[in-house]
A and B are shown apart, each in its own frame.
Chain A
Amino acid sequence: GAVVSQHPSRVICKSGTSVKIECRSLDFQATTMFWYRQFPKQSLMLMATSNEGSKATYEQGVEKDKFLINHASLTLSTLTVTSAHPEDSSFYICSAIGAGANVLTFGAGSRLTVL
C-alpha cells in the first residue's frame, strides 16, 4: 500500500530557531499534500494544502510567513517552522494523495518541542 514517511519524528529546538520537517511519499506520486497540527488531546487542524509545483493554500489563521511550505517535487513536501516559539510546540502531521494512492495516506507525525 501507499506509504508516507515523515522526518524527523521528534525534534527539540531553541526558541527563535527554525525547524524543517519533511514529508515524503515513498511509492507513489503525491500531487497533493496536506499539513496538520495537533495539540495534545485535541483534533487534527488543517494548516495548509500543498499542490506540487504551486504555492501552498493556507487555512484561515495560519501564518504563511511563519509556516513555510514547499512542494517542489511529486514525492516531497517540507514544512519549515520559522522563528519557533514554545507555543509552536505541537505534533505536526502530513498526509498525501496522488496516483497510486486512492485514499489519503498519513505520515507518522513529527513532535516539535520548542524550549
Chain B
Amino acid sequence: GENVEQHPSTLSVQEGDSAVIKCTYSDSASNYFPWYKQELGKRPQLIIDIRSNVGEKKDQRIAVTLNKTAKHFSLHITETQPEDSAVYFCAGARGGGNKLTFGTGTQLKVEL
C-alpha cells in the first residue's frame, strides 16, 4: 500500500517568514495529493490540493509543488501569520482521491 513520509515533524518560523513542508510517497499510482490543516482537537481542514497532471498550484499565500518523477510534493506558506500555527498533514490517494494515506504531520509554530 501507499506510504507517505513527511518532514519536518516540527517547524518554527518567525512571523512573515516562509514555511516549507515536504512529503514523499511510495505508490507511483497515487495521483491526488491534498494538504490539511488541523488545529488541536478539531477536524482537518483542506487547504490546498494538487493532482498529478499539474506541477504547481497556488492559492494566495499557499502553494503546492509536485514532482512525480521523484515522488515528492511540498507545501509552501509565505508571509506566515500566527494563525497559521497548527498541525499540517499531507496525504496521497489513487483514483478518485477518497481513500487517503496521511503523512505523519508537521507542527508549525509561527512566532511573533
Q: Main secondary structure on chain A at its contact with chain B?
A: strand
Contact with B along A95-115 (1 / 0, CB 8 A): 001000001101111010000
Q: Does A43 contact B (CB under 8 A)?
A: yes
Alpha-carbon gap, A29 to B102, bound state (A): 25
The one of B49, B99, B102 that contacts A44, using a Cβ cutoff of 8 Å: B102
Please count how many residues in chain B sit with their CB below 8 Å of the partner chain's CB atoms. 20
**B43 CB contacts on chain A under 8 angstroms:** 93, 106-109
Q: Main secondary structure on chain B at its contact with chain A?
A: loop
Q: Does B25 contact A (CB under 8 A)?
A: no
The one of A32, A34, A41, A108 that contacts B42, using a Cβ cutoff of 8 Å: A108
**A34 CB contacts on chain B under 8 angstroms:** 98-100
Contacts from A to B (Cβ < 8 Å): 32, 34, 41-46, 49, 91, 93, 97, 103-104, 106-109, 111
